[in-house]
Amino acid sequence: MSGQDERGEGRQAIRKLAPGRIVIASHNAGKVREIAELLGPYGIEPVSAGELDLPEPEETGTTFVANAELKALQAADLSGLPALADDSGLCVDALGGDPGIFSARWAGEAKDFDLAMRLVEDRLGEEPGSPRDAHFVCALALAWPDGHVEWFEGRVDGTLVWPPRGANGFGYDAMFLPIDGTETFGEMEPAAKHAVSHRADAFRQLVDAVL
* Distance in angstroms (rounded) separating the CA atoms of residues 93 and 146: 38
Better-scored residue on pLDDT, 140 or 15? 140
pLDDT tens digits along 62-115: 999 999 999 999 999 999 999 999 999 999 999 999 999 999 999 999 999 999
pLDDT of residue 54: 95
pLDDT of residue 13: 59
| Confidence label for 43 from pLDDT (cuts 50, 70 and 90) | confident
Q: Is the peptide bond before 99 cis (omega within 30 degrees of 0)?
A: yes
Mean of all residue pLDDT scores within the chain: 91
pLDDT of residue 14: 78
Contact 106, 55 (CB under 8 A): no
Query: Catalytic residues, which ones?
Result: 87
Segments of 42-115 assigned E as strands = 44-48, 83-92
pLDDT higher than threshold 70 for residue 6: no
Percent of the chain with pLDDT over 70: 94
pLDDT higher than threshold 90 for residue 3: no
Residue type, 34: E
pLDDT of residue 9: 38
Domains with residue ranges and CATH for the chain: 20-210 (3.90.950.10)
- The closest alpha carbon to 139, from 74, 191, 62, belongs to 62
Contact 175, 162 (CB under 8 A): yes
pLDDT of residue 128: 87
pLDDT of residue 31: 82
* Distance in angstroms (rounded) separating the CA atoms of residues 2 and 12: 12
Q: Which residues partner with 159 through β-bridges?
A: 133, 177
pLDDT of residue 18: 87
pLDDT higher than threshold 50 for residue 8: no
Phi, psi of 61, rounded to the nearest 5 degrees:
-70, 160
As a whole number, mean pLDDT of residues 16-22 equals 90
pLDDT of residue 12: 58
pLDDT of residue 1: 30
CA 155, 156, 162 angle in degrees (round to 5)? 135
Stated pTM of the model: 0.87
pLDDT higher than threshold 80 for residue 11: no
